[in-house]
Amino acid sequence: MTARTLFVTGTDTEIGKTRIATAVLRGLVAAGHVAVGYKPVASGCETTPAGLRNEDALALAAAGSPGFAYEAINPYAFEPAIAPHIAAADAGVRIERAVLDAGHARLAADADWVVVEGAGGWHVPLGADWDSNWDFAGWASAHDWPVLLVVGMRLGCVNHAMLSARAIAATTTFAGWVANTLPPRQPRLAENLAWLEQAMPGPCVAQVPIDPPAEHAIEPAAWLGDGARP
Which amino acid, one-letter code, is at 56? Answer: D
Residues 6+ apart with CB under 8 A from 121: 9, 10, 11, 12, 13, 160, 164
Any catalytic annotation for residue 17?
no
Task: Please state, in angstroms and rounded to a whole number, the distance separating the CA atoms of residues 160 and 139.
Answer: 21
Nearest to 72 by CA among 26, 105, 28: 105
DSSP string, 72-131: HH-SEEESSSS-HHHHHHHTT----HHHHHHHHHHHHHT-SEEEEEEEEETT-BSSS-GG
Which amino acid, one-letter code, is at 46? Answer: E
Classified as helix, coil or strand, 229 is coil
Is residue 192 within 8 Å of 180, Cβ to Cβ? Answer: no
Catalytic-role residue among 4, 17, 33, 39 = 39
The alpha-carbon radius of gyration of the chain (Å, integer) is 17
What Å distances lie between residue 88 and 49, 71, 80, CA to CA?
Answer: 21, 17, 10
Catalytic machinery residues: 39
